[in-house]
Amino acid sequence: MNYKLIAVEGIPGAGKTTMATYVQQWLDDHGIPNRLYCEGDLAHPADFEAVAYFARADYTRFLERHPSQQKALAQYSHCIGDDCFVHYGQLAVAQTVPEELIAELVERDVYEIADIHTHARLIRERWRRFVEAARRNKGTHVFECCVLQNPFTIALLKHNLPQPEVLRHVQAVLEIICPLNPLLIYLWQRDVRATLARAAQERPQEWRDFVSAYTDRGAWAQAAGIGGYEGFIAAQDLRQALELSLLRNAGIPNLVVDTSDRDWDAVQRQIAAFLREKTAPDSSWLLQQVQPCP
C-alpha cells in the first residue's frame, strides 16, 4: 500500500464515521495493515484532542499552583522546546483529579488559543511529526475529519480570516502530508440545511446547543451577523464550498461523492472503485509518486 493516509471529510451528518469505518473494512479485506482514528479519539497521532497548551514558563507556574497534582500531570504532559502540552482528556479518564483543574486545562485547549499564528504553528508542527513517524512505519492511517474540517473551522468560524488566508492555512497542512501520498474522500451534500437538520434529529439536543454556542463565540458569526444554529448552517454551507474549491487545485487524489440520499451501498461501491484504482499495481498514479509535492 503506497498510500499512508486516507482522509474522509465532509460537513456534520455527511456520513464521515460510517464511510471511514467502511474504508477500514475495505483495507482489512485486502490485507492492508491500517488504523482508523475517528473524531474525538484521545490517542489521535496527528490532531490535538483534549490537549492543553502552555508556554514552558506558564507550565512551570501552572505546576506550582497545583503541587498535589504534579505527579498525575507529569504522566500526561510533555514539552517540545518551549511548548508544553497536557493531555487532559486522557488524564480525566485515567485519574481522579479536581474538576477545577480540568476546567482550567479546557480553557487552555489548543483549539482555544487566541493567537491564530501560535495555533497554526502548533498544528503544522504536529502534522510534521506525524508524517515523519508514519513514513517510517508500515500500514495506512484512516482519518475522519481532521485534515480539512478542523483547520477550516478554526481559521473560518473562530478567527474569520479572509478566505485566501483560510485556504492558505489549510493548503499548508495538505503540503505537509504530501509525502504520505494521501487520498481524500469528500462526502458532498446537495442541501446543507437538510443534512444538518437530519443530523440534529439523530443526535442529542446537546449537540445543537454546542454548535450554536460555538458559532456564536466565533468571529465569523459576529462579523456576518448570523448567530446560533442559523449561523452554524450558513458557516457549514460556506465551508463546504471552500473545501471543494480547495480540492480542485490541491494536487491530492480525491473522490467527491454525493451522500445526500444516504444510499450507503452505492457510496461504498464508488469508494471501493476509487480505492481499487489507486491501489492497482498498474495504476497511473503510481508513476506520478516520484514527482515533488506541490
Give per-residue pLDDT as tens, 272-289: 999 999 987 654 444 344
Q: Which three cell numbers stand for residue 166?
A: 483560510
The band of 246, judged by pLDDT with boundaries at 50, 70 and 90, is very high
The band of 219, judged by pLDDT with boundaries at 50, 70 and 90, is very high
Higher per-residue pLDDT: 194 or 138: 194
Question: With contact defined as beta carbons under 8 Å apart, do 150 and 157 qualify?
Answer: no
> Within 10 A of 60 (CB to CB), how many other CB atoms are there?
12
The band of 89, judged by pLDDT with boundaries at 50, 70 and 90, is very high
pTM (predicted TM-score) = 0.93
Collapsed DSSP state (helix, strand, coil) of residue 7: strand
pLDDT of residue 281: 67
pLDDT of residue 2: 86
Q: Which three cell numbers stand for residue 195?
A: 443534512
Which percentage of the chain shows pLDDT scores above 90? 91
The band of 1, judged by pLDDT with boundaries at 50, 70 and 90, is low
Q: Which three cell numbers stand for residue 30?
A: 485486502
Domain boundaries, the chain: 5-47+114-280, 52-108
DSSP 182-243: -EEEEEE-S-HHHHHHHHHHHS-HHHHHHHHHHHHHSHHHHHHT--HHHHHHHHHHHHHHHH
pLDDT at 140 over 70: yes
pLDDT of residue 290: 33
What number is the average pLDDT over the span 175-191? 97
Q: How far apart are the first and last CA of the chain?
A: 22
> Within 10 A of 245 (CB to CB), how many other CB atoms are there?
12
Residue-wise pLDDT for 101-121, tens only, equals: 999 999 999 999 999 999 999
Question: With contact defined as beta carbons under 8 Å apart, do 212 and 232 qualify?
Answer: yes
State which CATH number among 3.40.50.970, 3.20.20.70, 3.90.1750.10, 3.40.50.300 fits the domain covering 5-47+114-280: 3.40.50.300
> What span, in angstroms and rounded, lies between the C-alpha atoms of 136 and 256?
30
